[in-house]
């Protein structure tokens, strides 16, 4: 369960202060598939970065499973991101010198798994997204859709509590986008909590809840 209360995020540029999030109240229950929608500049990615602990809000409260994240040290946040969260970025964010298998196994390895155990889990995760035969390929040897599927494998290999996806289909063609979204759908059916930022209406049907943002405020939330 994620609870957000009166979340504010501002960016300062000299004397200028731009408020991107203007007091967001939001909750996400376990097992939900939430799509955060909004036009460009609405603040949807910024919101995702705050609740996924990649960034520090200016003010407000974020509680994850009842735990106030303001009290967390950097190290605790790092451990939280490592074990509780999974991330899928718009540009895949794979490490170019690591193979598909290594990209997926690395966070598992960081969690203390042995090489064999990490590799085994990574293989399972890659097979789940249909990349069982591309284990030893470097990202540069994969198509955009395949790279995004590796990114999803990396995000789910350690069975995170929440999967965050920031415009996961933005760089993909229609076919690859459909594949990625069908993977998300399957993950959700298996009970995975997903919070996804998107601006593509086509994929809203996959989400069970659509939160709309405009000018740093939630303008529509069925809850």
Q: Footprint of another protein on this chain (CB under 8 A)?
A: 49, 54-55, 75, 78-83, 85, 87, 89, 93, 95-98, 102, 106-107, 109-112, 138, 154
Q: Which is nearer to another protein, 54 or 210 (CB)?
A: 54
**Token pair in block for residue 183:** 């993977």
Least Å distance, CB 206 to another protein, is: 24
Residue 202 exposure: Cα atoms within 13 Å on the Cβ side: 12
For residue 1, the Cα-to-chain-centroid distance in whole angstroms is 15
| Nearest C-alpha neighbor of 46 from the set 3, 9, 77, 92 | 9
Least Å distance, CB 97 to another protein, is: 4
Least Å distance, CB 175 to another protein, is: 26
d(CA 48, CA 196): 8
Q: Which is nearer to another protein, 15 or 112 (CB)?
A: 112
d(CA 110, CA 107): 5
Least Å distance, CB 154 to another protein, is: 7
Q: Which is nearer to another protein, 58 or 111 (CB)?
A: 111
Least Å distance, CB 106 to another protein, is: 7
Distance from the first to the final alpha carbon of the chain: 14
How far apart, in Å, are the Cα atoms of 35 and each of 147, 156, 163, 197? Answer: 22, 18, 12, 6
Q: Which is nearer to another protein, 72 or 106 (CB)?
A: 106
Q: Which is nearer to another protein, 29 or 78 (CB)?
A: 78
For residue 56, the tally of other CB atoms under 10 A from its CB is: 12
């Amino acid at each position: 369960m994620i609870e957000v209360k009166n979340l504010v995020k501002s960016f300062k540029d000299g004397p200028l202060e731009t408020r991107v999030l203007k007091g967001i109240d939001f909750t996400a229950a376990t097992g939900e598939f939430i799509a955060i929608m909004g036009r460009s500049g609405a603040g949807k990615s910024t919101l995702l970065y705050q609740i996924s602990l990649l960034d520090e809000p200016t003010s407000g409260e974020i509680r994850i499973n009842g735990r106030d994240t303001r009290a967390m040290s950097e190290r605790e946040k790092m451990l939280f991101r490592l074990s509780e969260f999974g991330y899928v970025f718009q540009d895949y964010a794979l490490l170019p010198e690591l193979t598909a298998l290594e990209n997926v196994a690395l966070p598992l390895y960081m969690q203390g798994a042995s090489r064999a155990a990490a590799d085994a889990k990574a293989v399972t995760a890659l097979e789940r997204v249909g990349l069982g035969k591309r284990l030893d390929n470097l990202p540069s040897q994969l198509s955009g859709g395949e790279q995004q599927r590796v990114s999803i494998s990396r995000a789910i290999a350690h069975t995170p509590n929440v999967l965050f996806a920031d415009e996961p289909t933005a760089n993909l063609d229609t076919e690859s986008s459909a594949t990625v979204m069908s993977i998300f759908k399957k993950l959700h059916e298996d009970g995975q909590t997903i919070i996804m930022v998107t601006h593509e209406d086509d994929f809203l049907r996959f989400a069970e809840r659509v939160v709309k943002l405009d000018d740093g405020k939630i303008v529509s939330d069925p809850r």
